[in-house]
Amino acid sequence: MDVDSSKKFSPSKLKEYQICPRRYAFHYIERIPRERTSVEALLGVCVHAALEALYQNLQNGRLMTILEVLGVYDAEWERRWNSEAIAVFEPGLSGEHYRAVGREALTLYDAAHRPFAEDKTVAVECRVGFPLLAGGEIYRIEGFVDRLALASDGAFEIHDYKTSRSLPEQSELEADWQLALYDAAVRHAWPDTKTVRLRWHYLRFGKTLGVAKTVPELDSLKKDVARLILEIKGDRRFAPQKNALCPRCEYRAICPLFKHAEEVSRMPVQESGIEEGVLLVERLADIVSRKKAARTSLRAIEEEEKATEAELLSYAQGRGLLAVHGRRGYVSMSEKEEIHLPTKTHAPEGHDRLEAALKESPLWPEISKLDGHRLVEGLKDGHWDDASRRFVEELLLRYAKRETSWILRFHPSKEEAEE
Ligand code: SF4
């Protein structure tokens, strides 16, 4: 995989990497042209073209009528619709539906802002940027502001026009860093700037949302962006990351995650049914479901085993037996005693007292930490003197819990074992 040698990063480019590094690499490193444009993107481009014309004319002292604004929109729509590959992904919706959505959004905006005298436009679709130090190198953060304006109180306002079909929560805009980076760029261009306001116009809803960033917030954002740039520079895999955009991604046909699905979906049914990859996946799916069924029946067998052992034990105990014989072998039963010491987690008080008592005894250097197994082994192997044995036995009596359990073992007969 190529490394990313670029020195210029726009907020949308950085965002693309965050969404999916593979898509980023297709677009910005391998520069593979996108085969189709989504109709939503077309809608956004045409609305932006109309607003650009509106505000550029306004800068020249001419106020366009709404019909003229819609005329620019329609002309742009026609031109692109007829010359680009536009994809409509939403089933049941046509291009005309989206075209009408754009017209309605512009009409709504026009009604709310005409005669557009609330501020003074400084520039439309203007390039802004600033240098950023990351890993000892200087990068440039650059992007296009939809509209930069000066409000009557002298504050800069960065306007962004959105045609998305959902309205974000305020907290999402506060976390958004595209306009915040433009804010940093404006402050870089005009260092005596005191206030910058960020304005998002959600045109389908006729709603404007705003955020104002502080200088420390912008400084912290720049650090995050510098970290992200270093991550991109260090990336050698650009792994695909499945996300909500995948169904509409222009690179699905070449994406390692979806390429096979796309290929198979284009094959005639008879052909796709015998394709090697499809068959292998079928085989593995079958193995996985057989394993699942085997695990389920193993669990049932184990439960049956436990119940039979309990019955066998009760049979043997009722008759004072330690082995029960059958035609295919015999089952032996042995009793096992286990000593459970109080643990730090479940019985901390008992644990601490037992440990303190042992620490004061001459056995501590040998035991060195509270270890039930070593205590029991010490008792069994008989190398402790009587006083030490009595001391440990007393401690265990006071603090430990003794539990006995029965171990049942099936010994197959010779014929059974040979089978
Ligand atoms: S289809 Fe999804 S995973 Fe593949 S490149 Fe596109 S966004 Fe990334």
- Closest Cα partner for 213 from 162, 159, 167, 176? 176
CA distance 169 to 209: 9
> 101 CA distance to ligand 1 centroid (A)?
28
> 45 CA distance to ligand 1 centroid (A)?
23
> 239 CA distance to ligand 1 centroid (A)?
9
> 312 CA distance to ligand 1 centroid (A)?
60
Q: What is the pLDDT along the chain (419 residues), one digit of tens a residue?
A: 566 778 999 999 999 999 999 999 999 999 998 877 889 999 999 999 999 999 999 999 999 999 999 999 999 999 999 888 787 777 788 889 999 999 999 999 999 999 999 999 999 999 999 999 999 999 999 999 999 999 999 999 999 999 999 999 999 999 998 999 999 999 999 999 999 999 999 999 999 999 999 999 999 999 999 999 999 999 999 999 999 999 889 899 999 999 999 999 999 999 999 999 999 999 999 999 999 999 999 999 999 999 999 999 999 999 999 999 999 999 999 998 888 888 888 888 888 888 888 888 877 777 666 666 777 777 777 777 888 888 888 888 888 888 889 999 999 988 877 77
All domains in the chain, ordered by first residue: 8-248 (3.90.320.10), 321-418 (no CATH)
Q: Which of 249, 259, 260 to mutate to test the pocket of ligand 1 (most atoms within 8 A of CB)?
A: 249
> 20 CA distance to ligand 1 centroid (A)?
6
> 245 CA distance to ligand 1 centroid (A)?
7
> 296 CA distance to ligand 1 centroid (A)?
37
Bin 353: left if φ > 0, else alpha if -120 < ψ < 50, else beta.
alpha
- Residue 1 and residue 238 in contact, taking contact as beta carbons nearer than 8 Å: yes
User: Residue 357, exposed/middle/buried by CB under 10 A (0-12, 13-18, 19+)?
Assistant: middle
CA distance 50 to 60: 16
The CA distances from residue 260 to 36, 242, 251, 264, 275, in Å, are: 19, 15, 13, 6, 11
> 224 CA distance to ligand 1 centroid (A)?
24
Report percent pLDDT > 70 for the chain.
Answer: 97
Residue 129 pairs in a beta bridge with 142
CA distance 276 to 327: 51
Task: Return the residue whose CA atom lies nearest to atom 2 of ligand 1.
Answer: 246
The full DSSP string for 37-56 is: EEHHHHHHHHHHHHHHHHHH
Atom of ligand 1 nearest to the CA of 250: 6
CA distance 304 to 240: 47
Report percent pLDDT > 90 for the chain.
Answer: 73
pTM of the model: 0.72
> 206 CA distance to ligand 1 centroid (A)?
32
Atom of ligand 1 nearest to the CA of 241: 3
Main-chain phi, psi angles of 373, to 5 degrees: -60, -45
CA distance 28 to 17: 10
Q: Which of 238, 248, 258 to mutate to test the pocket of ligand 1 (most atoms within 8 A of CB)?
A: 258
Atom of ligand 1 nearest to the CA of 22: 5
Q: Which of 26, 252, 263, 265 to mutate to test the pocket of ligand 1 (most atoms within 8 A of CB)?
A: 252
Main-chain phi, psi angles of 159, to 5 degrees: -105, 135
- Residue 152 and residue 210 in contact, taking contact as beta carbons nearer than 8 Å: no
Mind listing the pLDDT tens digit for each residue in 77-126?
999 998 887 877 777 888 899 999 999 999 999 999 999 999 999 999 99
Angle CA(359)–CA(363)–CA(368) in degrees, nearest 5? Answer: 60
The CA distances from residue 298 to 295, 301, 303, in Å, are: 5, 5, 9
> 34 CA distance to ligand 1 centroid (A)?
12
Atom of ligand 1 nearest to the CA of 246: 2
> 134 CA distance to ligand 1 centroid (A)?
27
Q: Which of 243, 248, 260 to mutate to test the pocket of ligand 1 (most atoms within 8 A of CB)?
A: 243
Task: Name every protein residue with a CB atom under 6 angstroms from any ligand 1 atom.
Answer: 20, 22-23, 240-243, 245-246, 249, 251-252, 255, 257-258
Task: Return the residue whose CA atom lies nearest to atom 7 of ligand 1.
Answer: 246
Q: Which of 16, 257, 265 to mutate to test the pocket of ligand 1 (most atoms within 8 A of CB)?
A: 257
- Closest Cα partner for 70 from 53, 58, 82? 53
